[in-house]
């Protein structure tokens, strides 16, 4: 299979996305994961632009990369000075990498308006800058910024800028759809003409302002581009960059190219989620290939067909990208869905119980429950139907008080009385809110009997109003996500009282942990 070079710019272009901020330690961790995934180039940042990137390149020796080549990013020299006197180019040479990527202007409007220089000087800036880096022994990737906008307005000059990079000795010339406004059919034709013209390999760098970054990237590959640039999860300025998590599997599974080392595609989902976790941002559920819903099936007809043959509703096997198939229990499902879920959870569900559970779930969802996002609560339902004793504890009562004084933050206190076996436990705890206080009090009561609760913590808490017209009397649904060193699980509670709904979700979460502890202990 022909190789496509994968160039990752998550650590530079990705961090320009709103809400993305990485420390030096974060960048080092992500770089290691990108190397584990097997991308060819990791663009680490702009060493002349800020102290963080200076520190990152200073510590880059800690990475010990096995596959990827670390790349530094910068711009062409400033107008009117020699390349050897440009501090940006000096920083690229001095930061210790063997590959440098520089960008220059391809759009005559940008040259005269943004740079404020002449078209001829811009060509010299490109040529001189590439030659300077080559003279210092670096592999040079030239990013032709705004190329497609420039080509649309003045194709001859846009091509002249590429020729200047080639004359300087560029190893790659990358065409950039910087404003993200091109359409795939037109872009493919332009790339095809450029590939015919240039004696060096061509790459593609697209943005997602028209929701076409992935399509434009794949169209460019069809036209002859052999390097794809993008970011993990599509992060980037404005609407983001081309999403490598979609580009890579399309190249490998559908277009017959090799993008990653053999057998590395199965690392894609794990890597995408790991990098999102490091950046402290939510992984979109509906992201193709690597999202939690990418291979999730809910409708009864769909589930019935998938049980027979997954190809009926899946365009690629989820295992190919390291993801997994999920069947969602809901009011749209039937007995096939319930049997699937029971088997997935290791529950031997008799046929006579299946229809009962389907009807029960439909009634609960009518009340406002939602089990597709709370599979731990669903498993507890299944276990109860099988007669499993799930109550590690029973509630006698709880009471929650919240005090607010002028000029001071509010403080909540929860008092609970529970029974653990034949023991009565009566305790209290404070928290920064009523749910936090309940959580603290329940932990305090249970930890002496179930020490594993100390390792469990809540990672997400969501409240959804179900009947907006009822205002503050509305029924609410609470979803809680919990985690320990072994796994993550989600639970749900519904009530007109937000504290009661939270209590149901919270106690489900702890009962699920105790169930798993019991299973592991045999």
**Number of CB atoms found within 10 A of residue 415's CB:** 16
Residues 513 and 496: their CA atoms lie apart, in Å, by 26
| Residue that terminates a domain, selected from 223, 247, 279 | 279
Q: Does residue 303 sit in the same domain as residue 438?
A: no
- Whether residue 337 lies inside any domain: the answer is yes
Tally of residues, the chain:
522
Q: What string of DSSP letters covers 405-471?
A: -TTS--EEEEEEEEEETTEEEEEEEEESSHHHHHHHHHHHHHTTT-GGGGG-EEEEEEEEES-GGGG
Helical packing angle, 351-367 and 335-344, nearest 10°: 100
DSSP state of 77: P
Question: Is 70 exceeded by the pLDDT of residue 209?
Answer: yes
β strands within 96-231, DSSP E: 99-105, 139-145, 172-177, 202-206, 227-230
Q: Do 57 and 184 have their domain in common?
A: yes
Q: What is the pTM of this model?
A: 0.73
Which domain covers residue 339, as residue numbers?
296-385
Segment 381-405 mean pLDDT: 82
- The string over 271-281, giving b where at least 16 C-beta atoms fall within 10 Å of a residue's C-beta and e elsewhere, is bbbbbbebbee
So what's the pLDDT on residue 329?
Answer: 55
| Statement to judge: residues 140 and 119 lie in one domain | yes
| Alpha-carbon radius of gyration of the chain | 28
Residue 285 domain-assigned (yes or no) = no
Least confident of 96-105, 292-301, 332-341, 441-450: 332-341
DSSP letter, residue 61: G
The whole-number average pLDDT for the span 421-432 is 92
Nearest Cα neighbor of 134 from 95, 171, 85 is 171
Element (H, E) at 402: strand 394-403
Q: Which of 331, 364, 385 is the last residue of a domain?
A: 385
Residue 334 has a pLDDT of: 56
* Structure confidence at residue 391 (pLDDT): 63
Q: Based on the domain organization, do 400 and 511 belong to the same domain? A: yes
Give me the percent of the chain exceeding a pLDDT of 70.
Answer: 93
Residue 287, in any domain of the structure: no
Place of tokens 């990098």: 275
Residue 63: pLDDT over 70: yes
Instruction: Give the DSSP H or E segment for 496.
Output: none
Cα separation, 144 vs 102, whole angstroms? 9
Both 171 and 200 in one domain: the answer is: yes
Alpha-carbon torsion 501, 506, 508, 511, what sign?
negative
Residue 8 or residue 378, greater confidence: 8
C-alpha–C-alpha distance, residues 210 and 185, integer Å: 14
β-pairing verdict for 457-465 and 476-483: antiparallel
Q: Would you say residue 399 lies in a domain?
A: yes
Distances (CA, A) of 62 to 58, 65, 413: 9, 9, 48
Domain end marker among 385, 415, 442:
385
pLDDT range class, residue 331, cuts 50, 70, 90: very low
**How large a percentage of the chain has pLDDT more than 90?**
67
Whether residue 220 is found in the same domain as residue 364: no
Considering the domain boundaries, does residue 418 fall inside one? yes
How do residues 226-285 score in pLDDT, each as one tens digit?
A: 999 999 999 999 999 999 999 999 999 999 999 999 999 999 999 998 898 888 887 888
Which phi and psi angles does 88 have, rounded to 5°? Answer: -65, -45
What is the distance between the alpha carbons of residues 104 and 434, in angstroms, rounded to a whole number?
56
φ, ψ (nearest 5 deg) of residue 203: -120, 175
Per-residue pLDDT band for 300 (boundaries 50, 70, 90) equals low
Q: Is the pLDDT at 9 greater than 70, yes or no?
A: yes
203 in the same domain as 337? no
Among 67-81, 380-394, 450-464, name the most confident range: 67-81
Give per-residue pLDDT as tens, 143-178. 999 999 999 999 999 999 999 999 999 999 999 999
Asked if 478 contacts 498 with a C-beta cutoff of 8 angstroms, the reply is yes
Number of structural domains (the chain) is 3
Retrieve residue 311's tokens: 């190809």
DSSP type of residue 258: B
72 located within any domain? yes
Task: Annotate 284-352 with three-state secondary structure.
Answer: CCCCCCCCCCCCEECCHHHHHHHHHCHHHCCCCCHHHHCCCCEECCCCCCCHHHHHHHHHHCCCCCCHH
Looking at the fold, whether 21 and 155 belong to one and the same domain comes out as: yes
Q: Kindly report the CATH number assigned to the domain that includes residue 456.
A: 3.30.160.270
Q: Does 215 score more than 70 pLDDT?
A: yes
- The answer to whether residue 183 sits within a structural domain is yes
Residues 431, 408: Cα–Cα separation, whole Å: 14
Confidence (pLDDT) at 332: 46
How many Å is the maximal CA-CA distance in the chain? 88
Confirm whether 373 is domain-assigned. yes
pLDDT at residue 358, rounded to an integer: 75
CA nearest to 184, candidates 217, 159, 156: 217
Label residue 6 left, alpha or beta by phi (over 0 means left) and psi (-120 to 50 means alpha). beta
> What is the Cα–Cα distance from 219 to 6, expressed in whole angstroms?
15
Q: Are residues 318 and 353 in the same domain?
A: yes
> Helix (H, G, I), strand (E, B), or coil: what is residue 398?
strand
Same domain, 227 and 269: yes
Q: Which of 195, 144, 148, 146 is nearest to 165 (CA)?
A: 144
Looking at the structure, tell me whether residues 62 and 85 fall in a common domain. Answer: yes
Contacts of 462-470 with CB under 8 Å at 24 or more apart are: 463/498, 463/501, 466/368, 466/494
Name the least confident of 66-80, 143-157, 180-194, 475-489.
Answer: 475-489
**Statement to judge: residues 376 and 403 lie in one domain:** no
């Amino acid at each position: 299979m022909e190789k496509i070079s994968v160039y990752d710019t998550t650590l530079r272009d990705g961090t320009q996305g709103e809400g993305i901020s990485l420390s030096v330690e974060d960048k080092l961790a992500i770089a290691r994961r990108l190397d584990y995934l097997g991308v060819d180039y990791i663009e680490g940042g702009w060493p002349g632009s800020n102290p963080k990137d200076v520190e990152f390149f200073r510590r880059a020796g800690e990475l010990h990369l096995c596959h990827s080549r670390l790349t530094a990013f910068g711009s062409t020299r400033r107008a009117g000075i020699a390349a050897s006197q440009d501090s940006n180019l000096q920083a690229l040479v001095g930061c210790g990498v063997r590959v440098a990527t520089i960008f220059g202007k391809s759009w005559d409007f940008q040259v005269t308006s943004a740079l404020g220089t002449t078209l001829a000087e811009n060509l010299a800036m490109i040529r001189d800058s590439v030659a300077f880096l080559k003279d210092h022994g670096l592999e040079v990737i030239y990013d032709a910024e705004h190329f497609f906008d420039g080509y649309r307005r003045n194709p001859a000059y846009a091509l002249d800028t590429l020729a200047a990079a080639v004359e300087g000795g560029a190893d790659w010339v990358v065409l950039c759809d910087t404003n993200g406004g091109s359409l795939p059919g037109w872009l493919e034709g332009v790339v095809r003409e450029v590939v015919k013209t240039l004696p060096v390999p061509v790459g593609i760098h697209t943005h997602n302002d028209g929701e076409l970054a992935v399509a434009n990237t794949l169209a460019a590959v069809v036209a002859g581009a052999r390097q794809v640039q993008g970011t993990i999860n599509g992060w980037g300025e404005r609407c983001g960059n081309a999403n490598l998590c979609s580009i890579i599997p399309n190249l490998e599974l559908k277009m017959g190219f090799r993008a990653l080392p053999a057998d590395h595609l199965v690392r894609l989902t794990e890597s995408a989620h790991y990098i999102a976790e490091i950046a402290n941002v939510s992984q979109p559920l509906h992201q193709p290939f690597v999202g939690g819903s990418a291979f999730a099936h809910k409708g009864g007809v769909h589930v019935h067909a998938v049980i027979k043959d997954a190809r009926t509703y899946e365009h690629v096997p989820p295992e190919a990208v390291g993801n997994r198939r999920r069947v969602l229990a809901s009011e749209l499902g039937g007995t096939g869905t319930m049997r699937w879920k029971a088997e997935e959870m290791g529950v031997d569900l008799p046929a006579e119980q299946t229809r009962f559970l389907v009807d029960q779930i439909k009634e609960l969802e009518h009340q406002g429950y939602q089990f597709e996002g709370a599979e731990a609560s669903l498993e507890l339902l299944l276990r109860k139907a099988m007669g499993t004793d799930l109550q590690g504890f029973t509630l006698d009562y709880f009471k929650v008080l919240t005090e607010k004084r002028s000029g001071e933050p509010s403080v909540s206190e929860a008092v609970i009385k529970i029974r653990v076996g034949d023991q009565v436990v009566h305790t209290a705890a404070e928290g920064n809110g009523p749910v936090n206080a309940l959580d603290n009090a329940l932990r305090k009561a249970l930890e002496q009997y179930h020490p594993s609760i100390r390792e469990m913590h809540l990672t997400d808490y969501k409240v959804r109003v179900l009947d907006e017209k009822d205002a503050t009397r509305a029924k609410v649904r609470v979803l809680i996500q919990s985690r320990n060193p072994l796994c993550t699980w989600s639970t749900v509670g519904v009530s007109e009282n937000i504290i009661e709904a939270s209590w149901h979700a919270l106690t489900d979460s702890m009962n699920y942990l105790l169930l798993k502890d019991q299973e592991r202990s045999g």
